[in-house]
């Protein structure tokens, strides 16, 4: 049985395989449906099920399960508009322009009896997704601390922290309460649905996102998320105020030097006439200096360039003020619908 398909759609479908790479790619199931003239591509691990349906010219129904890694790598390696997929009893063949790969099929029984959630759906609008986009930069990638690898939705706020920084944003018409959604899944959903929104189904332990013909089901993070509200400075004595857009532009320029160091430290000190001086230095490479409108009540303070840029991008007001009990303690930022914390870096002047 052979089917013709758009290779560009197949390449887009296998991009979602990255969501199950943490435990290694195992198998992919391809299901051809002559009735709908479509082909469904699915992969999974112990925590997730990812599936996408793409248009295809299907002569007969069929299904095959093959090793996911070579399937993924071949599809991504071939750059063509159209391709062919051929299934036999124990082989699956892919043809793309001048390239071909033939894979042995697994027994169909190896595929788990797992499905996407079918509970009542809630709609997450582009506005809700944009709120998640404001905090996604603070998600941790430390799998040893699972709660920090997700975004908490609770009491009308979305929050994320990697223990060095924190971001929380108010969610209009909160879509769910008291759940922690894996951050890498949220990133994929933002890429797919930022402009159109998505449908969401939840259970006690899982969440399913539906974006067009793509479905992503993942386990929720059940570890306790820290109470972020108690972490804010109680009586800040010091503050640092920037023109936010000017700061973003300066930090982009400072990446020339700062990005060549692990922490990318930027030292900030008071210049003249309500100007702040930003310096980046990497031994044996060089140093760089930039200026931005602003004031500060301390001699100097240093932050990671990328972390400070992420924070400035997440804020919305023209002026951004960071406050702290001490120049050596965590700094806070507060807007009407946004809260953030950022830890300074000890740096040599």
Three-state DSSP class for 187? helix
Predicted pLDDT at 153: 95
Give the pLDDT confidence of 159-182 residue by residue, as tens digits: 999 999 999 999 987 666 689 999
User: Quick one: DSSP state of residue 178?
Assistant: S
Whether residue 286 contacts residue 271, with contact meaning beta carbons closer than 8 Å, is answered with: no
Q: Which two tokens stand for residue 169?
A: 């944003």
Write down the pTM of the prediction. Answer: 0.90
Give the pLDDT confidence of 138-152 residue by residue, as tens digits: 999 999 999 999 999
Whether residue 269 contacts residue 292, with contact meaning beta carbons closer than 8 Å, is answered with: no
Instruction: Give the integer Cα–Cα distance in Å for 92 and 71.
Output: 10
Whether residue 295 contacts residue 206, with contact meaning beta carbons closer than 8 Å, is answered with: no
> What domains are there in the chain, each with its CATH number?
2-110 (3.10.150.10), 122-229 (3.10.150.10), 232-342 (3.10.150.10)
Q: Which two tokens stand for residue 320?
A: 């951004």
Predicted pLDDT at 349: 42
Q: How many CA atoms lie within 13 A of 264 on its CB side?
A: 16
Instruction: Give the integer Cα–Cα distance in Å for 67 and 14.
Output: 13
Instruction: Give the integer Cα–Cα distance in Å for 106 and 97.
Output: 26
Predicted pLDDT at 18: 80
Tell me the torsion sign for CA atoms 242, 244, 246, 247: positive
Q: Which two tokens stand for residue 19?
A: 């969501």
Residue labelled with tokens 């946004």: 338
* pLDDT < 70 stretches in the chain: 21-25, 174-177, 347-349
Whether residue 263 contacts residue 304, with contact meaning beta carbons closer than 8 Å, is answered with: yes
Instruction: Give the integer Cα–Cα distance in Å for 168 and 157.
Output: 7
Predicted pLDDT at 126: 94
Predicted pLDDT at 112: 81
Nearest to 200 by CA among 184, 216, 187, 180: 216
CA angle 145, 169, 202 (to 5 degrees): 65
């Amino acid at each position: 049985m052979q089917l013709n398909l758009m290779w560009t759609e197949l390449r887009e479908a296998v991009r979602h395989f990255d969501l199950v790479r943490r435990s290694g790619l195992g198998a992919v199931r391809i299901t051809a449906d002559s009735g709908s003239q479509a082909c469904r591509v699915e992969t999974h691990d112990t925590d997730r099920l990812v599936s996408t349906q793409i248009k295809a010219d299907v002569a007969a129904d069929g299904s095959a399960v093959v090793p996911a890694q070579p399937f993924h790598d071949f599809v991504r390696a071939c750059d063509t508009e159209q391709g062919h997929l051929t299934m036999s009893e124990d082989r699956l063949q892919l043809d793309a322009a001048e390239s071909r790969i033939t894979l042995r099929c697994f027994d169909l029984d190896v595929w788990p009896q797992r499905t996407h959630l079918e509970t009542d759906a809630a709609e997450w609008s582009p506005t809700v997704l944009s709120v998640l986009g404001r905090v996604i930069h603070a998600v941790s990638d430390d799998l040893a601390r699972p709660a920090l690898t997700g975004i908490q939705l609770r009491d009308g706020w979305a929050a994320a922290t990697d223990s060095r920084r924190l971001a929380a944003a108010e969610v209009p018409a909160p879509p769910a309460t008291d759940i922690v959604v894996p951050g890498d899944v949220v990133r994929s959903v933002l890429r797919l649905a930022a402009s159109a929104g998505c449908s969401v189904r939840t259970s006690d332990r899982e969440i399913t996102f539906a974006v067009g013909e793509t479905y992503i089901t993942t386990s929720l993070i059940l570890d306790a998320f820290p109470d972020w509200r108690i972490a804010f400075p109680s009586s800040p004595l010091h503050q640092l105020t920037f023109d936010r857009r000017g700061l973003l532009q300066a930090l982009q320029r400072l990446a020339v030097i700062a990005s060549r160091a692990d922490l990318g430290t930027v030292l900030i000190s008071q210049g003249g006439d309500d100007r702040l001086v930003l310096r980046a230095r990497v031994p044996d490479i060089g140093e760089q200096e930039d200026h931005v409108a602003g004031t500060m009540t301390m001699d100097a303070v240093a932050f990671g360039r990328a972390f400070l840029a992420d924070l400035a991008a997440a804020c919305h007001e023209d002026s951004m003020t960071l406050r702290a009990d001490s120049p050596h303690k965590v700094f806070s930022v507060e807007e009407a619908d946004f809260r953030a914390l950022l830890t300074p870096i000890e740096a040599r002047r």
